[in-house]
Structure 1
Amino acid sequence: MRLPTAAHADIPWRIHEITADFQIEDVWALPTPGGPADFQRLIAQFSEANADTPELMSSTIGKFLMAARWKLGELFGWDKDGEGLGRRVPSLKDRLPADLRDGPTGPELDGVPFRPIFLTDNEWAAEIANSTMHGVLHLGWVQDGDHYRGQMAVLVKPNGLRGTAYMALIKPFRYLWVYPDLLRTVGRGWEAGRGNAAWVNRAR
């Protein structure tokens, strides 16, 4: 379910300390009901893709759109090394306060060029940069009634008019196919992982 930006902005996340110049693009409630200590299981699901943890893009359309995006990036030079983190823009790790800088970063995402920034008991953030934008994927663990669930936010800093146009161009595809596919797959993976000892071991 899509949430208003306030659902992310009004929570005192640590990510706010380093993203004052970013805009909140999307906020989504994840279909991952659990207890207060289940956040690490969510991180494990996002970071691994195998028989026990389905790929985050499982539908044919979702996989096609992701493949098309990387192909277009190759053709137009959006993802050249010189346009990425540490080149066109510095990593947000350079902004971290000492306690987060010296703490864990969390896992790498499987199959996509996001780099982890930091990991806490209820937050994980990763970043990506190319010639169109500097983006952040943020996962949090929030209380929702009598249970907890995951919450995903996407924050972006477009690179000028080209970046703004790019974000507008891909918006319909994200809402019609990418996000619905992602949420369905996350929900199926979460249910499949209930009671699975392998999940617990991977999340530690």
Structure 2
Amino acid sequence: MRLPKSAHTSLPWRIHELTRDFSVEDVWSFRTPGAGPGDFPAMLAAMRAAMRATGGPARLRMAVLVKPNGRFGRLYMAAIAPFRYLVVYPALTRQWERAWRAHLERTSR
């Protein structure tokens, strides 16, 4: 589910120190059935992704940070936005959900 940018910017994430001159492009929350904050595979830690308790089941949050280089960079980001929303993000979501379900199967044995 897409979240407002403040869902990322209002929290004291360490990434803010490293990305002061970046802008937040998108913030997402993903289902992680049966997950706890320490359970998500480490391979996604390189992305700005984190488990966050939400009052119910923990959810994976991903923020997309960008630093467009000049006018061309801004135009490029605007041009690829439909592709990101219609192809890239849905594919990432499906891949993460498959990986998470496989992780749960391996750890529940």
The corresponding residue for 2:94 is 184
- Give the 4+ runs in structure 1 shifted more than 4 A: none
State the Cα distance separating 1:171 from its structure 2 match. 0.2
Classify the secondary structure of the residue corresponding to 1:140: strand
Unaligned 5+ runs, structure 1 = 47-123, 126-136, 198-204
CA contact (8 A) 2:36 2:51 kept: no
Match of 1:152? Answer: 62
Deviation of 1:151 after TM superposition, in Å, equals 0.8
Q: Report the alpha carbon displacement of residue 31 of structure 1 after superposing the two structures with TM.
A: 2.2
Number of aligned pairs? 106
TM-score (norm 1): 0.49
The answer to whether 1:35 aligns with 2:36 is yes
Larger radius of gyration: 1
Instruction: Please state whether the residue corresponding to 2:2 is helix, strand or coil.
Output: coil
**Structure 1 residue 150 displacement after superposition:** 1.3
Preserved contact between residue 31 and residue 183 of structure 1 (Cα < 8 Å) = no
The answer as to whether partners of 1:31 and 1:186 remain within 8 angstroms in 2 is: no
The SS at the match of 1:173 is helix
1:99-178 correspondence to structure 2 within 5 Å:
124-125=45-46, 137-178=47-88
What one-letter code is carried by the residue in structure 1 that aligns with 2:11? I
Paired position in structure 2 for 1:6? 6
Distance 1:180 1:154 in 2: 14
Separation (CA, whole Å) in 2 of partners of 1:168 and 1:146: 35
2:104 & 2:55 partners in 1: Cα distance?
A: 20
For residues 51 and 14 of structure 2, what CA distance do their matches in structure 1 show?
13
Deviations 1:114-137 (A, max 9, x none): xxxxxxxxxx34xxxxxxxxxxx4
CA distance in 2 between counterparts of 1:2 and 1:146 reads: 18
Q: RCO greater where, 1 or 2, for CA within 8 Å and sep 6 or more?
A: 1
RMSD value, Cα: 1.5
Q: Is the Cα–Cα contact under 8 Å of residues 28 and 62 in structure 2 kept in the other structure?
A: yes
Post-superposition Cα deviations, 1:81-140, rounded to whole Å, max 9, x if no partner, equal: xxxxxxxxxxxxxxxxxxxxxxxxxxxxxxxxxxxxxxxxxxx34xxxxxxxxxxx4111
Paired position in structure 2 for 1:22:
22
Query: Offset at 1:147?
Result: 2.4
**Separation (CA, whole Å) in 2 of partners of 1:36 and 1:170:** 32
SS state at 1:36 partner: coil
**Percent of aligned pairs with the same amino acid:** 52
